[in-house]
Amino acid sequence: MSGIVPDPIARQPWRMLFPLFVLIGFGALVLFSAAGGSWDPYASSHVIRFLVFLPMAFVISMFSRELAQFFAFPVYIVIIVMLMAVEAIGFVGGGSQRWLDLGFMQLQPSELMKPGLVLVLARFYANLPIGLIPTWRSVVPAAALIGAPVALVLLQPDLGTSLALAFGGAVVMFVAGLPLRWFLAAGAAAAVLAPVAFFFGLQPYQQRRVFTFLDPESDPLGDGYHITQSKIAIGSGGLGGKGFNEGSQSHLNYLPEPQTDFIFSTMAEEWGFIGGLVVIGAFAMILGWGLKTARESQDRFGKLLATGMTATIFFYVAINLMMVMGLAPVVGIPLPFMSHGGSSMMTNMICIGSLMMVARWNRRAPRTGLIS
C-alpha cells in the first residue's frame, strides 16, 4: 500500500472496517433521533459498547489457528453449562429466564452460543477425516452439537435464537461438503414437519404472529400493529426521508421499539430509500468481505469458521430487514451494528473478530494459486 500510511494500519481489513464504522456511526445518529434528539440513553451507550467490543475483536483476531482449535470444545462446553444454568435458575425461580447476572452485565449465553457453535462445528469438520464426510459419522456428532443448544434455547423459549443457531450450524454443514441430497431430504422433511411443528410446537402468541404476518391488516391495532406501523414509517420516508429528527412515526411513539428491532424503520423514515441503500450496501460489503475471507482461506477450519460467522451475521440482518418490511413474522431479532443492545453487539463483534482472525491467517500464508 502507500508509504504514507503505517503498515499496521494499512494491513487492517478496511474493506470491512469502513462500512462497519459507517453502520455504527449511522446507528448512533438514528439512536440519537430515536431518543427524541438526545445522546442519552441510546446513542452514547451504543458508541461506548462499540469502543469496548472493537478492541475485543482485535484481541480475538490475534489468536493463532491452533489456539482457536484448542479452545473450540472447552468454550462450547462452558456455554452449554451456562445455558443449563439459565434453565436451572429459571426453573428454581419459577419463570423463564434468558440471562445470567454477572454483576457488571447481564450475559445471554444463547448469544454467545451463536459464534461458539460455528467454532465447534468448524473444529469438528476440520479434523474429521475426509473419507468420513459422506457417512453418518459426519452427521450424527454435528447434529448432536447443534441439537443440544437448540433444544436448550427452545426451552427458554426463544424461537428466534434457536433458528439462528440451527441456520448457522446448517450453513457450516453445507459448506463442509456433506452430500447435497441429504440437505434436499432434510428440506423436504422440514417442509412436511413445519405445519406439525407450527400447531404443536409454537406458543399461541407465536402462532398469532405468523398469522398476523400473513395478513397484517386483519388486526391493525393488535398484532398487526407493529408491521403496519413499520411499513408506514418506511413508506412515508420516500426517497430522501423526512429529515434528521423529523420522523413522526418514531417520535410520536407509533413505531414500537424504535431503538432496537425497528431501528431500520426509524432510519428509513428520516433518511428515506437512500439511507436504506446505504445500510443494505454496507452490510453487503461486510458480508461480501466475510465470504471472500472464507474463500481465500487455505485450510478447512478457516474456511468453515469464516463462512459460519458470515452466515450468523447474515441471519440477523436478513431476518430483521424482512421483518420490518413485512416479509417475515415479527421475531425479536435486532439489526447488527445499529440496534441498541449489548448482547447482539457482543455476538456480532465476536463474529467480526473471528473473521479478522481468519483474514490474518490468510495474510500470513498467502494463497499460492496453484498449490492448494
Partner 1 sequence: MGLRNRNKRRDIVSQVTLDNAFDRRTFTIGTAMGGLGVLLAARMGYIAIAENEKYELESESNRVNLSLIPPRRGWLLDRNGAPLASNRADFRVDIIPERTPDPDRTVAVLTDILELDENQSADVLKRIEDSPGFQPVEVASGLKYDQFAAVSVRLPDLPGVVPQRGFSRFYPTGPSVGHLIGYVGPANAEEYEEQDRNPLLITPGYKIGKDALEQQFELDLRGVPGARRVEVTASGRIVRDLETREDVQGDPVRLTIDGPLQDYAARRIGLESGSCVVMDCETGDVLCMSSMPSFDPNSFSQGIGRVEYAMLRDDERVPLRNKVLKGLYPPGSTVKPMHCMAFLDAGVKPEETIICGGGRRIGNRFFNCWSNHGSVDMAKAIYQSCDSYFYHFAQQVGFDHVARWAHKMGLGEEFPLPVTSQFYGTVPDPAWKKKKFDQEWQPYDTVNSSIGQGYYLTSPLQLAVMSARLATGDRVMPRLRLTDEKPQFEHFDFSPEEIGYVRQAMSDTVNGPGTAGRARLPFDDILMAGKTGTAQVVSLSISNGKTGPWKYRDHGLFVFFAPFDKPKYAGAVVIEHGGGSGSAYPIARDVMTFMFDPAKGMEALRPLEEQWGGTAQERLNQKYRAYAAAAGEAVPPVPERDEDIFDQVEAEARVAARQPEAIAEEASPSRVDTRSAEEVSEDTNSARPTSPGSTTQATPADDPE
Helices and strands (H, E) in the chain, number of each type: 14, 2
How many residues of this chain interact with partner 1, rule: CB under 8 A? 51
CB 249 within 8 Å of CB 232: yes
Indicate whether 164 belongs to the interface with partner 1 (CB under 8 A). Answer: no
Three cell numbers written together for 226: 407493529
Residue 290: CA count within 13 A, CB half-sphere: 26
CB 164 within 8 Å of CB 177: no
Closest distance between partner 1 and the C-beta of residue 235, in Å? Answer: 3
Closest distance between partner 1 and the C-beta of residue 125, in Å? Answer: 10
Phi, psi of 101, deg, nearest 5: -90, 110
Closest distance between partner 1 and the C-beta of residue 365, in Å? Answer: 16
Q: Residue 86 or residue 227: which is nearer to partner 1 going by CB?
A: 227
User: Residues 93-132 vs partner 1: string with x where CB under 8 A?
Assistant: -------------------------------------xx-
**What is the H or E stretch that residue 353 is in?**
helix 342-364
CA 172/CA 306 separation, integer angstroms? 9
Segment contacting partner 1 by CB under 8 A, of 14-22, 65-73, 87-95, 274-282: 274-282
Which residues are CB-contacts of 337 (< 8 A; sequence separation ≥ 6)?
20, 23, 24, 27, 50, 345, 348
Indicate whether 268 belongs to the interface with partner 1 (CB under 8 A). Answer: yes
Three cell numbers written together for 283: 452490510
Closest distance between partner 1 and the C-beta of residue 233, in Å? Answer: 7
Closest distance between partner 1 and the C-beta of residue 344, in Å? Answer: 19
Binding site for partner 1 (CB under 8 A): 130-131, 133-135, 171, 174-177, 179, 229, 231-239, 248-249, 252-254, 268-269, 272-273, 276-277, 280, 283-284, 287-288, 291, 294-295, 300, 303, 307, 311, 314, 318, 321-322, 325, 327, 372
